Amino acid sequence: MKKNQIAQNIARETMSELHHFIKVGMSEKEIETKAFELMIEKGSTSFWYHGKGALVLLGKRSIESMPGVEYFASEENKVAENDVVTIDLTPTVDGYWGDYARTLFIEDGIVAEEDNPQNPLFRKGLETELYLHNKMKEIWTPQMTYEELFFKINEEITALGFENLDVHGNLGHSVNMDEKDRTYIEHGSTCSFEETGKAFTLEPHIRLCGGSIGFKRENIYYFDENWELHTL
């Protein structure tokens, strides 16, 4: 996992710097361009997800989900005084992936301190994402199938009054050298984590039922020779 860790660190550091870069009035395109520049400066040699290293969706577009080949960063959609922006980063180092997404919260024109928004709706979305990731770590076993995890986490999403926004309905995927080889956390994915032997992501893209803003949070998880689960 060494090179995956390098790629993931590039994504994590880039996201941290974007916290200080984003300002009211910036477009999705400006944020995407800066993210590309930062990841390249930090050593990303390519971007594994259809060549799109940063998927940036802000405001009303944060609830949108589309196949990667259809994604574009808007030049018209711009950061407001109180807003959300979901950013999904996919740097690659010599073919090894990073995959890291966060929702950034803009309050009174300033990006909130990481994971500490004050707006009650923003906090509810963040706390739900954190709960889902912690729940996964609590219930996960190597013998569990991707489909079983999908159903369990989707049940939690529904019970909390949220809905899954992903265009394909999935909640994450295995981490591979070729994106076509991914196994998804989705209905019908009947192989177990033990069988694939792969690290995987959890990335619920959710909103309150009928809500107008989306929330997304993604980490890579891997298991060691003792089947202990870790965050990359």
pLDDT recorded at residue 115: 86
Give the C-alpha separation, 122 to 111, whole Å.
Answer: 12
pLDDT recorded at residue 67: 85
Residues 128-169: tens digit of each pLDDT? 999 999 999 999 999 999 999 999 999 999 999 999 999 999
Contact 184, 135 (CB under 8 A): no
pLDDT recorded at residue 175: 96
CA 91 to chain centre: 13
Contact 191, 181 (CB under 8 A): no
Checking if the pLDDT of 229 tops 80, the result is yes
What CATH code would you report for 2-231? 3.90.230.10
The arithmetic mean of pLDDT across residues 186-200, rounded, is 96
Backbone φ/ψ region at 212: left (φ over 0), alpha (ψ -120 to 50), beta: alpha
Give the C-alpha separation, 91 to 15, whole Å.
Answer: 12
pLDDT recorded at residue 178: 86
The residue extents of the domains of the chain are 2-231
Residues 13-25: tens digit of each pLDDT? 999 999 999 999 9
Phi, psi of 50 (to 5 degrees): 55, 25
CA neighbor of 112 nearest in space, from 76, 79, 88, 63: 79
Burial class (CB within 10 angstroms; exposed 0-12, middle 13-18, buried 19+) of 111: buried
The arithmetic mean of pLDDT across residues 99-107, rounded, is 98
Residues 55-85: tens digit of each pLDDT? 999 999 999 999 888 999 999 999 999 999 9
Contact 88, 101 (CB under 8 A): yes
- Tell me what the pLDDT averaged over the chain comes to: 96
Burial class (CB within 10 angstroms; exposed 0-12, middle 13-18, buried 19+) of 3: middle
Residues 81-99: tens digit of each pLDDT? 999 999 999 999 999 999 9
Contact 94, 52 (CB under 8 A): no
Burial class (CB within 10 angstroms; exposed 0-12, middle 13-18, buried 19+) of 199: buried
